[in-house]
């Protein structure tokens, strides 16, 4: 049991509203972990804190033994954390392949100078970048769309493309923000298969998801947030039977 990511006593408030209160979370290496909870439970806040979009108020985020609190967003990617976005955020001014190639940014080094004069280093690295990018594109099944503009693809494929882009950063932890939103049943099944294959590659997966069927079929560990607090965690089966979780989802009807 080694956890790749841990949060200890994580707190974050916006204005007067507490979005996350004292959350302890452990993402075990090589496992698919899901964070669920009703709207406003703090799921996205948790994601953004781990990714470094905004700073934490109190508490600690530890990734493979290193405290992340003061690490800039782009450096977290270099350390091995990758993410997708709820609202997709593909680069509309590039082809599908180029989108994935940007993922290789942190795994390549050559800069302005080598590029400006097309030094051998730049050509060598560029070749590796495009080969690897093509491999990730094939992995998510978009190989034949490499040269199409990213935003010309249908939503389902756009979401796969963001996963390929995140994978191209060669992460140890992949965070998926609502990967199933807007997908049909067939696409969701393909998505589940893909996430399992990613797990089998040795990449830990942390996902936030609304679709219970998807989560229960996919996640090996489920963490439930409600009003900024962790109220339960366990296997999918345990969570489905947990009274507090049922109460949180059904809300006031309990009273």
Partner 1 sequence: MLAKVRGRAAYAVIVLLLLLVMLAPFEWFLARYTTLMIFIGLNTMLTVGLCLLMGYTGQVSLGHAAFFGIGAYFSAILSKTYDVNPWLAMGIGAAATGAFAYVISYPIFRLRGNYLAMATLGLGLIIYILFRELGDYTGGPDGMYGIPYLSAGGFVFDTPFKRYFLVWGLCLAMLLISQNIVRSRSGRALRAIHGSEAAAESVGINSAQFKMKIFVLSAVYASLAGSLFVHHLRFVGPQPFGFLASVMVVVMAVVGGLASVWGAIFGAAAIRILSDKVLLEFGELDLIVYGLILMVVMIFLPQGLFVGLKEGYARLRLRYVRREAEP
Partner 2 sequence: MAGVTSGSIYALVGLGFTVIYSVTGIINFAQGEFVMLGGMISYIILDSTGLPTVPALLLTIAVVATVGAVLYLMAIRSARKASVVSLIIITIGASVFIRGVAGEIWTRDYVRPPYFSGDESLSFLGAYIQPQALWIIGTTVAAMIVLQVFLTYTVMGKALRACAINRAAAGLVGIDARVMALISFSLAAAFGALGGVVVAPLTTTSYSVGVMMGLKGFVAAAIGGFRSPFAAFVGGITIGIVESLAVAIDWGPFSSAYKDAIALVVLLLILLVRSGRLAAEERVG
Q: Alpha carbon of 215 to those of 4, 30, 73, 100: distances in Å?
A: 20, 17, 27, 26
78 in contact with partner 1 (CB under 8 A): yes
Range in contact with partner 1 (rule: CB under 8 A) among 6-14, 37-45, 100-108, 183-191:
100-108
Within residues 31-60, the interface with partner 2 by CB under 8 A covers 53-54
Query: Do residues 129 and 97 touch, judged by C-beta distance below 8 A?
Result: no
Per CB under 8 A, 113 contacts partner 2: no
Asked if residue 96 lies in contact with residue 153, where contact means CB atoms within 8 angstroms, the answer is yes
Among 96, 93, 67, 95, residue whose Cα is nearest residue 79: 67
Using alpha carbons only, give the angle 21, 22, 28 rounded to the nearest 5 degrees. Answer: 120
Which of 102, 149, 172, 242 is close enough to bind partner 1 by CB under 8 A?
102
According to CB under 8 A, which one of 93, 138, 184, 235 is a site residue for partner 1?
93
Residue whose CB is less far from partner 2, 53 or 201? 53
Q: How far is CA 67 from CA 74, 134, 245, in A?
A: 15, 33, 31
Contacted entry of partner 2, partner 1, none for residue 169, CB cut-off 5 to 8 Å set by kind: partner 1
Candidates 9, 14, 75, 152: give the one binding partner 2 (CB under 8 A): 14
For partner 1, which is the closer residue by CB, 203 or 232? Answer: 203
Query: Which of 98, 86, 99 is closest to 45 using CA atoms?
Result: 86
Binding-site member from 50, 101, 173, 206 for partner 1 (CB under 8 A): 101
Minimum CB distance to partner 1, residue 103 (Å): 5
Tell me if 152 contacts partner 2 by CB under 8 A: no
Phi and psi angles of residue 63, each rounded to the nearest 5 degrees, phi first = -120, 115
Helix residue ranges, H only, the chain: 43-51, 73-79, 96-103, 112-116, 120-139, 155-167, 185-200, 212-218, 236-241, 243-250
Residues that bind partner 2 (CB under 8 A): 14-15, 53-54
Residues that bind partner 1 (CB under 8 A): 51, 53, 72-75, 77-78, 82-83, 85, 89-94, 98, 101-106, 108, 110-112, 114-118, 122, 125-126, 129, 147, 165-166, 168-169
């Amino acid at each position: 049991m080694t956890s790749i990511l841990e949060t200890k006593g994580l707190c974050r408030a916006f204005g007067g509203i507490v979005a996350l209160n004292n959350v302890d979370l452990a993402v075990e290496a090589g496992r698919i972990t899901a964070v669920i909870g009703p709207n406003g439970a703090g799921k996205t806040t948790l994601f953004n804190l781990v990714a470094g979009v905004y700073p934490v108020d109190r508490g600690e985020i530890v990734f493979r033994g290193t405290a992340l609190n003061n690490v800039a967003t782009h450096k977290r990617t270099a350390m091995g954390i990758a993410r997708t976005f709820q609202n997709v955020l593909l680069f509309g001014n590039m082809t599908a392949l180029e989108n994935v190639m940007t993922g290789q940014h942190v795994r390549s080094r050559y800069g302005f100078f080598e590029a400006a004069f097309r030094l051998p280093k730049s050509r060598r690295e560029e070749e590796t970048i495009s080969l690897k990018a093509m491999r990730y594109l094939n992995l998510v099944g978009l190989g034949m769309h490499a040269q199409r503009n990213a935003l010309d693809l249908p939503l389902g494929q756009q979401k796969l493309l963001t996963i390929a882009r995140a994978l191209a950063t060669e992460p140890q932890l992949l965070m998926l923000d609502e990967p199933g939103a807007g997908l049909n049943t067939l696409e969701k099944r393909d998505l589940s298969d893909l996430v399992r294959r990613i797990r089998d590659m040795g990449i830990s997966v942390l996902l936030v998801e609304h679709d219970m069927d998807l989560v229960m079929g996919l996640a090996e560990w489920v963490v439930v947030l409600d009003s900024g607090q962790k109220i339960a965690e366990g296997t999918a089966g345990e969570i489905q039977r947990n009274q507090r979780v049922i109460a949180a989802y059904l809300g006031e009807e309990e009273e």
